[in-house]
Amino acid sequence: MRFGVDEAGKGPVLGSMFAAAVSADPEAIPGGVADSKRLTAARREELAAALREDPDVRVGITEIPPQMIDDPETDMNTLTVRAHAEALSQIVADGIAGLLDAGDTDEARFAARVRRRIDADVHLDAEHGADDSDDLVAAASVVAKVERDAHVEALAASYGADLGSGYPSDETTIRFLTDFIAEEGELPDCARSSWSTSQRLLAEAEQSGLDQF
């Protein structure tokens, strides 16, 4: 029995970040599991469903919403540590060992920070790119990405608009934010207001309004 932990949605300007932890005998992990970015959405959903339905696989999920991300008293590294620890705490037991996908430039520091938040007696390490090298971390990557995708779909339904992926590089996301600000004069609640993209779009809308006078 081992565990793997990864997160999805660390960089978007819209919506929550999710972390997932998966605990199982490595042989119980379905074939074809890989870093979620290298799988189609349909394949990710199939794999996530198989993991959740297997009684020999334990899955933990935690969500970090935009309001928490925007809190000036914290930062993304600390929130990523918190997310990994909270997801892992849902499934971990004494004596189990596993791997985290490192959410910090310093792998050992990230592992140590997560370990301090875990009550159980566990051995854990962190590596960059662990979702490519470890099946359990890859499984966690898949589950986290499916949770994040479902979250974005729910947001799109609530706003009655296409939000795109939520990433700053996505033109659909930027168009949604630009249109919302133009109509409402403020950011939507799902936006990470502290992100530079949000601040830039607000400033551009304000300048556009001034230019009309």
How many other β-carbons are positioned within 10 Å of the β-carbon of residue 72? 6
Sheet holding 2-8, edge to edge: 58-64, 17-24, 2-8, 97-101, 123-127
Q: Please indicate if the annotation marks 189 as binding a ligand.
A: no
Per-residue CA distances from 65 to 88, 99, 193 (Å): 18, 24, 12
* Contact assessment for residue 18 and residue 151, using Cβ atoms and an 8 Å cutoff: yes
Q: In terms of Cα–Cα distance, which of 124, 166, 173, 169 is closest to 149?
A: 166
One-letter amino acid of 181: I
E-strand ranges in the chain read 2-8, 17-24, 58-64, 97-101, 123-127
The neighbouring-strand residues paired with 4 are 22, 99
* Contact assessment for residue 62 and residue 19, using Cβ atoms and an 8 Å cutoff: yes
Distance from C-alpha of 155 to C-alpha of 137, rounded to nearest angstrom: 27
Q: Please indicate if the annotation marks 6 as binding a ligand.
A: yes
Radius of gyration of the chain (CA): 19
Q: Which residues contribute to the annotated binding site for a divalent metal cation?
A: 6-7, 101
